[in-house]
Amino acid sequence: MSLIKGMFIGIWNFLKKIWDDKQGRTGLIIAAFLALVAIFAPLLTPYDPYDVAMRDDKGLSPSLEHILGTSITTGQDIFSMLIYGTRVSLSVGLITGLAIAFLGTALGVAAGYIGGIVDMVLMRIVDVMIVIPTLPLTILITNIFGKSYVVIVLVFVLFGWTGLARTVRSQVLQIKNTDYVKAAELSGGSKGYIMLHHIMPAVSHLVVISTALTCAGIMIAEAGLSFLGLGNPTAISWGKMLADAQSGGSMLFGQWWTIIAPGIGIFLSVFSFMRIGLAIEGILNPRMKKSGDARKLWKHMNHRYLDEVLRSMEDTV
Amino acid sequence: MSKIYVIKRILYTVLVFFIVVTLCFFIPRMGVDDPCARYYPAQGNMSDESYETIKELTRQQYGLDGSTWSQYTRYINNLIHGDLGTSYRAGSPKVMDLIADRLPWTLVLSVSSMVLCFFFGVIIGTHCAVKRGGWQDRALMNASTITTAVPSFFIALLLTFFLGFQWEIFPAYTDQNLVSSFDWSLESMGAVAYNAALPVLSTMLGGIISNAQSVRNSVISAARENFAVTAKAKGITNRGVLYKHVLRNALLPIVTGLGMSLSGLIGGSVVIEQIFNWHGMGTLYLEANNTNDYPLMMGIMILISAFALAANLITDLCYGLLDPRVTLGEKV
């Protein structure tokens, strides 16, 4: 019990530190706002966003009844869709980010600390996975196993842990030879105990930073995949709203709000996680405050999706 | 750099490529039950034997006859002879020919975008580094925090809307006759540039800002080095120090990064090409996806992986050439 209590206190203190950082506070406020919107979406929406058959008012302009008008393809209320889109973006981003953090850390620590055959096998797998282009692979796998967010998250996790694992591994290789680890080994600590209590805390800062930034990157990737029509066909997501607006020709009719609204949604969610990531970096790594790792990581992130994000993490250590 | 290192490195690359090819071959075969049953659903008025015959013929036509293993050896054998197989499209074109048709068009977009990103990134970044702390610098900082959070396809849609539909400066969709009527004349090259303007611009904007940011950081840290101070102490003007000494050193890591991103060039940006209906690799891949054209999808993935591997290999060998301490154990 005390362990869980301690964990909560630790998380609380950490959040407080982020709150004290100017960048981090912006990020936290936006992220908390989006989380609340996602949780209470049914209470906030004036219309049922899935309601495609009831109305034949397609492509309406903003009015008091429909704050952001209705979509041009099916006549859904855009404001309601915007609110529901938060759910997909946040859940896909968070679940994938956390899963990658877990898998990447576990395998990275194992490869670095145990070494030998484990290390060799894992690193050879990484070498292969890093070469395969992620976006085409995701498209191929959704083609085979069906279009759904479950498949997308699985692909992201299965092929996304490699970068973090590499980074963690090289950090572990340095820590492995420090005095306190040697002392723990000499006093008879088992490998599992040392990995859990001595190695993990030492790499945790890397994991936390990369998780925040991976979440942001995954959100962009999710929007891109939904835009290409590879997400759940029935789900409502910002990327799909953009695709509908584009294919329905609402730009042709000058309905700029149909593009701006989901775009701002994507921007806010990615922006908040990015801010939080940068703030964490400043807290845990004060020397790097200016022009640090996170910016370097982020540099590659924008256009080339996940694999580039994770590949660029190599540079950080 | 020893010969053994080079040989080991090359052999290792070939091995990884072989594994990638194997994965690309088996992944499409994991989920599909029976491609021929998919292609020819069973008809009511057909006897089982004739249905089997039809399926067998279809398999032979598309190279799916025999066991998976014999298909695999055949595929590898063809690949060694430079043949990526045959597409399922009407007319059964070779995958290689389809890619060769599309690749130049993707390169038009990606190469020009990369060159422009580099060019403007260096100019803006150097300028901001010189005016460090000034409004230009702060503007760049703020711009970079915003553009990194905006996906490029959203920028593309905004540009399409304003420059394409509202103000009608550039075409919002690529002209469909662009490809068929292309004939190396100045006029048609101009048409290509005119049509490529929006796709290039939308991939470029974010790239320029992030490039400028890293050039700025790199220039600032290079200006603190001793050689810059020495040059200044020798009495060289600020401008001379900047262009002759600082910039040269500051651009080294940027150029290295450029080399690393070379492998992204041939894949193209799937989403951007899709938005502008550009006749490139990205749209080819999406077309293949929509028609379940697995040989084509495999071919494109293998090609991109091969390119990435080759780029990695060349980078590593160059490092080895420049820094003899690099050995296989450290750098792979």
ipTM of the complex: 0.84
Q: Residue B244 carries which DSSP code?
A: I
pLDDT digits (tens, 9 = 90+) for B29-74: 876 666 676 667 766 677 777 877 877 887 777 777 777 888 888 8
Rounded to the nearest angstrom, the gap between the alpha carbon of residue B66 and the centroid of all alpha carbons in its chain is 35
Q: Among the residues of chain B, which ranges form H helices? A: 3-26, 28-31, 35-39, 48-61, 68-80, 95-130, 135-147, 152-159, 186-223, 226-233, 238-240, 247-260, 264-267, 270-276, 281-290, 294-322, 328-331
B147–chain A Cβ distance below 8 A for any pair: yes
Which parts of A86-223 are beta strand (E)?
none
What's the confidence (pLDDT) of residue A102? 92
Q: Residue B94 carries which DSSP code?
A: B
Please give the Cα distance from A218 to A309 (Å, whole number). Answer: 10
Complete domains list, chain B, with CATH: 3-80 (no CATH), 95-322 (1.10.3720.10)
Residues A251, B146: C-beta atoms closer than 8 Å: no
A243–chain B Cβ distance below 8 A for any pair: no
Residues A216, B275: C-beta atoms closer than 8 Å: no
Beta carbons within 10 angstroms of residue A194's beta carbon: 17
Residue A308 above 60 pLDDT?
no
Residue A293 above 70 pLDDT?
no
A148–chain B Cβ distance below 8 A for any pair: no
Mean per-residue pLDDT, A233-258:
84
pLDDT digits (tens, 9 = 90+) for A244-255: 888 887 777 778
Would you kindly state where each structural domain of chain A is located, as residue ranges? Answer: 17-292
Q: What is the DSSP string of A138-156?
A: HHHHHHHH-S-HHHHHHHH
Please give the Cα distance from A215 to A166 (Å, whole number). Answer: 18
Torsion angle, CA of B64/A131/B307/B198, rounded to 10 degrees?
100
Residues B31, A300: C-beta atoms closer than 8 Å: no
User: Which residues touch B315 (CB under 8 Å, ≥6 apart)?
Assistant: B256, B259, B260
Residues B145, A274: C-beta atoms closer than 8 Å: yes
Chain B interface test: which of A220, A299, A312 (most B C-beta within 10 Å): A299
Please give the Cα distance from B190 to B169 (Å, whole number). Answer: 15
pLDDT digits (tens, 9 = 90+) for B139-190: 888 888 788 888 888 888 888 888 888 887 888 777 777 777 777 788 888 8
pLDDT, mean over chain A: 81
User: Are A166 and A108 in contact, with CB atoms under 8 Å apart?
Assistant: yes
Mean per-residue pLDDT, B197-211:
86
Chain A interface test: which of B271, B273, B290 (most A C-beta within 10 Å): B271
pTM: 0.83
pLDDT band of residue B18 (cuts 50, 70, 90) is very high
pLDDT band of residue A100 (cuts 50, 70, 90) is very high
pLDDT band of residue A316 (cuts 50, 70, 90) is very low
pLDDT digits (tens, 9 = 90+) for A2-50: 677 877 888 888 888 888 888 788 889 999 999 999 998 888 887 777 7
What's the confidence (pLDDT) of residue B21? 92
What are the tokens at A183? 């002392």
Cβ under 8 Å to A: B residues 69-98:
none
Output phi, psi for B45, to 5 deg.
Answer: -90, 20
pLDDT digits (tens, 9 = 90+) for B264-293: 778 778 888 888 888 888 899 999 988 888
Residues A132, B270: C-beta atoms closer than 8 Å: no
What's the confidence (pLDDT) of residue B330? 46
Cβ under 8 Å to A: B residues 152-181:
152-154, 157-158, 160-161, 164-166, 172
Residue A291 above 60 pLDDT?
no
Chain A interface test: which of B161, B276, B286, B309 (most A C-beta within 10 Å): B161
Please give the Cα distance from A232 to A18 (Å, whole number). Answer: 34
Mean per-residue pLDDT, B128-142:
86
Kindly indicate whether the domain formed by A17-292 is annotated with CATH number 3.50.50.60: no
User: Are A310 and A160 in contact, with CB atoms under 8 Å apart?
Assistant: yes
pLDDT band of residue A315 (cuts 50, 70, 90) is very low
A316 vs B134 pLDDT, higher one = B134
For the ranges B81-95, B109-123, B215-229, B248-262, which has the lowest average pLDDT?
B248-262
For the ranges B32-41, B54-63, B194-203, B308-317, which has the lowest average pLDDT?
B32-41
For the ranges A61-75, A84-98, B149-163, which has the lowest average pLDDT?
A61-75
